[in-house]
Copies of this chain bind each other. A is one copy, B any other.
Amino acid sequence: MGEVKVIGSSKSLFCARVEWALKLKGVEYEYLEEDLLNKSPLLLKHNPVHKKVPVLVHDDKPIAESLFILEYIDERWKNYPLLPEDPYERAMARFWAKFADEKCVMGAFAAFRKEGEEREKAIESALESFTFVEKQIQGKKFFSGDDNIGYLDLVMGWIPLWLNAMEEAGGMKLMDAQKFPSLHEWTQNFVEIPLIKECLPPRDALVNYFNLSLSYIRSMAAAKQ
């Protein structure tokens, strides 16, 4: 099926979902760790528009944007389907994936980097978004709706570890087991899957990364004032 490469960063939650998908499908790939502070000519060549990871390179043809990479992987390798078969269920999975990335990931990042009253507003808004996601997982073990994780589980897969590390570094709490009991239970089900557990980065490294990011953001903000 041709040579598969992933240009990624071990700190990026958007890259983890791509590696999980390839592993679930049993696709062999070469992983190329990108230094995001000093981007490689290979990344700039393969993603000249956004200059971001992840990029999947299959037979020298690059694909950017993690959600579209997941769809590509699912269409190219048919074993272990990630998206549901039914068109309506597929539309719902796409809708919630986009919602999660735009509202929950971006909402958590906003809460993480802002201060004072702006932070409070960002936290409130992120919590509102997680409330919608909580409703989606109620009564289910996985977002896929069955006993195997699928597309939407991979997309939400940043919550157990990345969000947790971001919360520690940022001194905030979004994923509260009392507020979001079903989502909390899902995080536990998700990280118990051996394939997922095996390729989670060390928590300390992530906390350290978010601490450094926050210092950088604060110093840039201070320099502007």
Contacts and interface: CB of A to CB of B under 8 A. Distances in A.
Interface of A: 49, 58, 61, 63-65, 68-69, 71-72, 75-76, 87-88, 90-92, 94-95, 98-99, 132
B72 A132 contact: no
Contacts of A88: 58, 61, 63, 72
A90 B75 contact: yes
A90 B71 CA distance: 9
A171 to B, nearest CB: 29
Contact of A91 (B69, B91, B94, B132): B69
Contacts of A99: 49
Given A58-B88, A61-B88, A72-B90, 16 more contacts: A49-B99, A63-B92, A64-B95, A65-B94, A65-B95, A65-B98, A68-B95, A68-B98, A69-B91, A71-B90, A71-B91, A71-B94, A72-B88, A72-B91, A75-B87, A76-B87
26 contacts: A49-B99, A49-B132, A58-B88, A61-B88, A63-B88, A63-B91, A63-B92, A63-B95, A64-B95, A65-B94, A65-B95, A65-B98, A68-B91, A68-B94, A68-B95, A68-B98, A69-B91, A71-B90, A71-B91, A71-B94, A72-B87, A72-B90, A72-B91, A75-B87, A75-B90, A76-B87
Most buried by B among A58, A75, A91, A92: A91
Nearest to A92: B63
A127 to B, nearest CB: 15
3 closest A-B pairs by beta carbon, nearest first, are A75-B87, A72-B91, A68-B94
A65 B93 CA distance: 12
A99 B68 CA distance: 12
A105 B29 CA distance: 36
A76 B87 CA distance: 6
A58 B89 CA distance: 13
A92 B61 CA distance: 10
Contacts of A72: 87-88, 90-91
Contacts of A63: 88, 91-92, 95
